[in-house]
Amino acid sequence: MELKDLLKFDDIVIQCHDNPDADALASGYALMWYFAKNNKRAKFIYRGRNEIKKSNLLIMIKELDVPVDYEPFFAREPELLITVDCQYGQKNVTATTAKTIAVIDHHQKGAAVPGGLSYIRSDVGSCATLCWNLIKKEGLDPNDNRLLSTALYYGLFSDTNRLSEVSHPLDRDMMDQLVINKATVTEMINSNISLEELQITGKAILNYDYHESNKYLVIEAEACDPCILGVISDFALETENVSVCVAFYASPYEVKFSVRSCSKEVHADELAAFLAEGLGGGGGGHMLKAGGTMQPDYLNKSAKDTIEERLQWYYDRYLVIYAKDTKLNTSKWKAYDKVSQTLGCIRLTDVFPIGTPINIRTLEGDVDTVIDEEAYLMIGVEGEIYPIKEKKLLSSYQLTNFVFTRDFEYEPRIKNRATGEVKKVMPFAKTVRTVTNSVVFAKPLEQPVKLFTAWTEDKYYSGDIGDYLTVRADDEHDIYIVKGELFDRFYKPRTNR
């Protein structure tokens, strides 16, 4: 769905979920602004039993001129109803009848969502991001209204636990591009916790469960603003002998949790995704801070028991390998030749000069580096982007220098951190072919693995059962993981070892 698809309607009502948060308010505000730009009149409402009382949201509505109305008894049937930051028919939004329903949301898609006029992406951190992206696609810039751009930023800020759970590059693009009133944001941030929520924080911290064997805490709080969970988990992680903390609350509508890690063996974003998998929600963030949701209807036991059980599964399932200090016995492993593949690479000096500090933004995350004469980017068979040095590149690939093309869900970008200039990478991409005389030993994994390669001692790569643990024949410390579904595309059995 595109926003221009909604311009054929004249009687438009935008509705966010009951008890709105900053993301819901920002999203509805963005749509109101878009319709006004296109000379369409719309009304933005929320319903339910409770009118907004949180001080930060009252400041947001007043200072940013958010055009929302509380309509608990709204009875008119509009031509078009758009639900934002929620999905029509779900428990957290009071039902409003309408001739046509549209949905814009960043939560997991529900079974009853109307088809056609829906834009649902659960991979982004906020609904505000989706509205910003949709508006940008229509050739408009929310920065034309500083109050709106500030609201969009605060929507993302609030829904990703002070930006700690941001993982998708669209979220990061919006963060970078929005021009905001910093003083207003600061005022809202410093009015975020009420005395009641301060009490919730204290009570939760006093009732922790500590698991000494793996040094993690589980803390249950009362239903509260998700930011409170971040406050709890941030504070708890400063405790001696605590490496991981999961703080959560359970409400009739959702289970919300926050994950913090200071252990290099536990990436917070991976743990968050593991906790939420298959439970009607999702998890994400980055290595140190993450969070997620579960839907109560998917749980067959209490939220606390579910989290405790999944944490234990997570710690029990992995074998940890440090390649730099490991010599694997490959005497019974099969030998393979690398199959010739055409991949892509970018010489970074073609993009910016030597010495330029850059940020590489991809779907897999951000990488900061400084360009030197040996710096390249590789584009893998699945479109993944990763830095590589010229010596390493030439040991496995031959430069063929034809134009390399590929379609991406999100096209990678490189930002000059000194000037702010941003360039897309694909205009600079050239082809390379794998060298066919590379020999490796490999075997399928029988249990999940966390692998710290010889070049990335602070970040691991995960492998699951059926993936392949692979070792270069000419370097016993060059250990890496190849996904099971890709292995036959990369390697063929060697006729004699």
Strand-strand pairing, 491-493 and 475-482: unpaired
Mean pLDDT of all residues in 345-367: 91
Sign of CA dihedral 283, 159, 252, 31: negative
Instruction: Give span(s): CATH 3.90.1640.10, the chain.
Output: 3-189
The per-residue DSSP string of 413-472 comes to EEEETTT--EEESGGG-EEEEE-TT-EEEEEE-SS-EEEE-TT-TT--EEE-TTSEEEEE
CA proximity to 263, closest of 247, 246, 242, 283: 242
Position 50 scores a pLDDT of: 85
Sign of CA dihedral 210, 216, 221, 223: negative
Sign of CA dihedral 75, 76, 79, 81: negative
263-298 tens-digit pLDDT: 999 988 899 989 999 998 878 777 788 888 899 999
CATH class of 195-317: alpha beta
Residue 16 in 3-state DSSP? strand
Structure tokens at 152: 């969009």
- Is pLDDT at 139 greater than 70 in this prediction? yes
Q: pTM (2 decimals)?
A: 0.72
Mean pLDDT of all residues in 412-421: 93
- Is pLDDT at 107 greater than 90 in this prediction? no
Position 237 scores a pLDDT of: 93
Mean pLDDT of the chain: 91
Position 399 scores a pLDDT of: 92
- Is pLDDT at 497 greater than 60 in this prediction? no
Q: What is the CATH number of domain 3-189?
A: 3.90.1640.10
- Is pLDDT at 437 greater than 80 in this prediction? no
Name the pLDDT band for 461 (thresholds 50, 70, 90): confident
8 Å CB contact between 253 and 91: yes
- Is pLDDT at 111 greater than 70 in this prediction? no
CA distances from 179 to 141, 146, 149, 359, 434 (A): 11, 7, 6, 20, 44
Strand-strand pairing, 430-434 and 397-403: antiparallel
* pLDDT higher at 264 or 109: 264
Angle at 489 between CA 483 and CA 490, to 5 degrees: 75
8 Å CB contact between 17 and 104: no
Instruction: Give span(s): CATH 3.10.310.40, the chain.
Output: 195-317
59-96 tens-digit pLDDT: 999 999 999 999 999 999 999 999 999 889 887 899 99
Name the pLDDT band for 304 (thresholds 50, 70, 90): very high
Strand-strand pairing, 475-482 and 468-472: antiparallel
